[in-house]
Chains A and B, each alone.
Chain A
Amino acid sequence: DAKTTQPNSMESNEEEPVHLPCNHSTISGTDYIHWYRQLPSQGPEYVIHGLTSNVNNRMASLAIAEDRKSSTLILHRATLRDAAVYYCIPKGDFGNEKLTFGTGTRLTIIP
């Protein structure tokens, strides 16, 4: 699976949009890009995933660069509950059935 680079930490004001970047320059053409988050004292939580097109769901939007070497998770209106560690995970289909979590980005929401 491709390696990723994410900021160690970010801060955002409550009720403002948040853009969480991820670089995955070694991604292959068939890797999906998954995003998970982990709130304090909880298990990881699936956020969104996509392949080439931008994706939206009730939690967030995923913007994927045209060359697929980077992506951005967008939280449209941050709440205090969005404070978490966010993981960007490219996932190939090589029969190696695991998601590899890196160190992620710790997002702090300022009231």
Chain B
Amino acid sequence: DSGVTQTPKHLITATGQRVTLRCSPRSGDLSVYWYQQSLDQGLQFLIHYYNGEERAKGNILERFSAQQFPDLHSELNLSSLELGDSALYFCASSVDDSSYNSPLHFGNGTRLTVT
């Protein structure tokens, strides 16, 4: 058990809808990272927050947004969903503001299916 909690585990929704994925980091971790994993793209970095502030953006679509709250949990909002957004979404946390010399601890993901 990594200590990172992601909810829900599974989500099935229709195209055009909006969903919110939630992540609770390990106790004491200040950084939260979001990754997307689809069959044809592998693990893709989306966004990184440290102590409530956005630190880096990756291949995140404009239809997607995220935030980290004062209690350090994070939410990833996906809107105007398309079939191609079907994927596993992983959250990871770490103590520091960089993955340079700090391990990332991943949750078990939310599997999103858009029909």
Residues on A lying within 8 angstroms of B by beta carbon are 32, 34, 36, 41-46, 49, 91-93, 96-103
Contact = CB atoms under 8 A, between A and B. Distances in A.
A38 B41 CA distance: 15
Contacts, number: 60
10 tightest Cβ-Cβ pairs between the two chains A and B: A43-B106, A46-B103, A101-B43, A93-B100, A98-B45, A97-B56, A97-B48, A44-B106, A99-B99, A97-B55
A45 B42 CA distance: 15
Interface string B53-97: 001101000000000000000000000000000000010100001
Contacts of B103: 34, 46, 49
Chain B contact patch, size range:
20 to 34
| Residue in B43, B58, B98 whose Cβ sees the most chain A Cβ within 10 Å | B43
Contacts of B101: 32, 49, 93
A45 B99 CA distance: 14
